[in-house]
Structure 1
Amino acid sequence: GGPFVASRGTVLSGARHLGAKTQRSARVGDGGGFAQLSMTLAPDPGTGSSLLSALLELASSPWLSRPKLVKHLQVVAVLQFIVSFLTMGFVCTVLMVYLFFTDCWLIPAVYAAWLIFDWNTPKQGGRRSSWVRNWTVWTYFRDYFPIRLIKTHDLLPSRNYVFGYHPHGIFCFGAFCNFSTEATGFSKKFPGIRPSLATLAGNFRLPVLRDYIMFAGICPVNRNSIDYLLARNGTGNAVVIVVGGAAESLDCVPGQNCVTLKNRKGFVKLALQKGADLVPVYSFGENEAYHQVIFEEGSWRRYLQRKLQKLLGFAPCLFHGCGFFSSESWGMVPYCKPINTVVGEPITVPKVEEPTPDIVDMYHDMYIRSLTELFDKYKTRFGLEETESLLIQ
């Protein structure tokens, strides 16, 4: 209960493992019961740099500077997208099977019951989540390349649309960022329009992955799913179809502007049957993201690629980007090349429930002309030469 008393200038040498000396001083006030304690840290030259100095050096290191940190976050955002689409479905399937034979068997059992109950949801408009589409990670994903969405004409919420996206590229970075997230502001540029990127139906049979991509507004590229969106889901729907598909990805190399379109008429017939307007979309720079080994037509390697494409639904491309830590090394990280996605002028399409081949061919030709005009109008703006042309195959 008495006053605290200590001598001035008392030095304690504790905490030597931190490389510092602690100086403690206390002073007694006139009224008793008052104490003042001050502590100072000073570097101990006998033990090297202090912890404080080390922290200061760490904070000032080049790889922790804000620009570097932002770039690392951009790379992580792109890699999580790639890894998710390549491995999430397979890994989650194996995990569910494994858990079924452990004490945690109830988890896969409940999910399997949910999967059966929810099986038809992807074919009935999916389960879009504006929260997932607005994740901050997508802004880092966008800024890595960067990716931009260019609007050329207004779209009416009173109509439905079929977007033809070109080219496929390796991973369709532009298609995903522009139409499955809000990173480039699709809803602000096209108010009242709900985009649905169509992808392989097999992805919706894989646990967890199906829910993840449904949250982004992705739908199966099959007739039931697209029929529902264009005929039974009101108006203001835009189904985005990567027309060239897996076959086109086998030809995507930097500097080449080639699209697989001559014999792709199914999307035109679908638009006629539903009375949905056709909209050409071209992404300048999509083919620049990776380097790919192209095998000659007629070679056994090309033959094997075609067979595996038909069997698996996707093309086994031999490609490479840069490494995680260096752009000079090879890896899965795409090259930082701008991707500019231009949404063209809609082609008004009447509703024809049973279109004849001649009508389909007529609108298919109109679509090719519109896509070519779009390419020619914007090619010099995005770094191409005036002499370059779009190759339709």
Structure 2
Amino acid sequence: MKISFAPRSVPLARRLQTAAVLQWVFSFLALAPTCVFLFLYLLFTRFWLISVLYVAWWIIDCDTPSRGGRRVPFLCGMRVWDHMRDYFPIKLIKTADLDPKNNYVLGFHPHGVLVAGAFANFCTYATGFRQLFPGLNSHLLMLPLWFRTPFFRDYIMCAGLVPSDKESASYLLRQRGGGNAVVIAVGGAPEALDAHPGTYNVLLANKKGFIKLAIEHGAHLVPVFSFGENEVFDQVENPKGTWLRWVQERLQSIMGISLPLFHARGIFQYSFGLMPYRKPINTVVGRPIEVEKNPKPTTEELDALHQRYMDELGDLFEEHKESYGVDKDTHLNFV
């Protein structure tokens, strides 16, 4: 294989962008196991008290993730996230106002491999969420497993991340006065296994839990489609029925996380590695669907709102696809 190396004369701005994305990829893929190793390692050194004191803090602080987390605005607004935004680049597009007097459930599609668009748009201030939607606080839901990881849990809470369970989402959505936007990557880990460039498969046909959540709390639904999310990584072919897909789905059912075999470019060369490609991600926030509060929705009400949500998401995709490089004959596929 011929390796295409990056030129030596790369501008400083691009080097900073690469460094910013490198730390993000490391945080996503390796920081959690590194934190676990550090926690255990310290127990067998003269610094064992650090881990012991952390356990005490963990016990005191155990409910924080499910009660809105602990966002640190200073960290969300750091310059490093501007560099990450410019690497791709990532852009947030508003199509309608969201009244901050209400609470919202934002359905994010597609999941992609590492949900780069969701993180940049809703966990950092780099793409202007606060300016586009004043008065709203966004909270991206993440697998509860990561909130049981020492040190790492505190790091991800700084970005406004909360566990993807009903208790955490409900806490935010039942707050009086509104102003909370719960962002759910609806397809979750299973959808990541279908995140191939050029594909527009959305795992949504049987996903109704977030719809029920919205009805129970009277939170308005907002479809979000992130164009380019599936383009920033290649993935080893894994169609359903192959041994690789069987293994991946089996591991996902056991661990709760999917393991897509993805690759893209490197740090100093463009031929292979785990760094994403420099391809644009345009995240379009659709119009809100008003939802009446009903603590005990019927199956018919649930199905009707679910269908309306799919229709609105499909319309959002069709309305904007050609603006972001999708062929006019390509349509969203609900799986």
Match of 1:229 in 2: 172
Contact kept, 8 Å, 1:259 with 1:391, in 2: the verdict is yes
Match of 1:41 in 2: none
Match of 2:77 in 1: 134
Quote the Cα distance in structure 1 between the aligned partners of 2:53 and 2:179. Answer: 36
Could you tell me how far 1:233 is from its partner in structure 2? 5.9
Match of 2:3 in 1: none
Match of 2:306 in 1: 364
- Matching residue's letter, 2:321: K
Contact kept, 8 Å, 1:132 with 1:215, in 2: the verdict is yes
Match of 1:337 in 2: 279
Could you tell me how far 1:176 is from its partner in structure 2? 0.1
Question: Of 322, 326, 336, which residue of structure 1 is paired with 2:265?
Answer: 322
Question: Of 48, 55, 75, which residue of structure 1 is paired with 2:18?
Answer: 75
Question: Of 317, 321, 332, which residue of structure 2 is paired with 1:379?
Answer: 321
Quote the Cα distance in structure 1 between the aligned partners of 2:327 and 2:282. Answer: 16
Map of 1:134-153 to 2, 5 A cutoff? 134-153=77-96
Match of 1:238 in 2: 181
Match of 1:279 in 2: 222
Match of 2:118 in 1: 175
Q: What's the secondary structure of 2:324's corresponding residue?
A: coil
- Matching residue's letter, 2:210: F
Quote the Cα distance in structure 1 between the aligned partners of 2:266 and 2:73. Answer: 32
- Matching residue's letter, 2:126: A
Could you tell me how far 1:299 is from its partner in structure 2? 2.2
Quote the Cα distance in structure 1 between the aligned partners of 2:32 and 2:52. Answer: 17
TM-score for the superposition, normalised by structure 1 = 0.82
Q: What's the secondary structure of 2:105's corresponding residue?
A: strand
Match of 1:210 in 2: 153
Match of 1:389 in 2: 331
- Matching residue's letter, 2:320: Y
Contact kept, 8 Å, 1:154 with 1:190, in 2: the verdict is yes
Match of 2:4 in 1: none
Map of 1:159-174 to 2, 5 A cutoff? 159-174=102-117
Q: What's the secondary structure of 1:349's corresponding residue?
A: coil
> Which deviations, in whole Å up to 9, do the C-alpha atoms of 1:1-28 show, x marking residues without a partner?
xxxxxxxxxxxxxxxxxxxxxxxxxxxx
Contact kept, 8 Å, 1:125 with 1:233, in 2: the verdict is no
- Matching residue's letter, 2:211: V
Q: 1:86 to 1:234 in 2, by over 3 A?
A: farther
Aligned residues: 329
Quote the Cα distance in structure 2 between the aligned partners of 1:145 and 1:314. Answer: 25
Quote the Cα distance in structure 1 between the aligned partners of 2:284 and 2:208. Answer: 22
> Which deviations, in whole Å up to 9, do the C-alpha atoms of 1:197-228 show, x marking residues without a partner?
00100111111111111110011000110110
Could you tell me how far 1:386 is from its partner in structure 2? 1.3
Quote the Cα distance in structure 1 between the aligned partners of 2:276 and 2:42. Answer: 35
Quote the Cα distance in structure 2 between the aligned partners of 1:300 and 1:332. Answer: 23
Could you tell me how far 1:234 is from its partner in structure 2? 4.1
- Matching residue's letter, 2:243: W
Match of 1:124 in 2: 67
Map of 1:38-77 to 2, 5 A cutoff? 63=8, 68-77=11-20
Mark the runs of 5 or more structure 1 residues left unpaired by the alignment: 1-61
TM-score for the superposition, normalised by structure 2 = 0.96
List structure 1 runs of 4+ shifted beyond 3 angstroms.
none
Bigger Cα displacement from structure 2, 67-76 vs 304-313: 67-76
Q: Does 1:290 align with 2:233?
A: yes
Q: 1:84 to 1:379 in 2, by over 3 A?
A: same
Identical-pair percentage: 50
Greater Rg by CA: 1
> Which deviations, in whole Å up to 9, do the C-alpha atoms of 1:263-291 show, x marking residues without a partner?
00000000000000000000000000011
Q: 1:362 to 1:334 in 2, by over 3 A?
A: same
Could you tell me how far 1:111 is from its partner in structure 2? 1.1
- Matching residue's letter, 1:219: V
Could you tell me how far 1:294 is from its partner in structure 2? 2.3
Quote the Cα distance in structure 2 between the aligned partners of 1:296 and 1:124. Answer: 39
> Which deviations, in whole Å up to 9, do the C-alpha atoms of 1:59-106 show, x marking residues without a partner?
xxx84x6x6221111111111111112221211111111111211111
Match of 2:197 in 1: 254
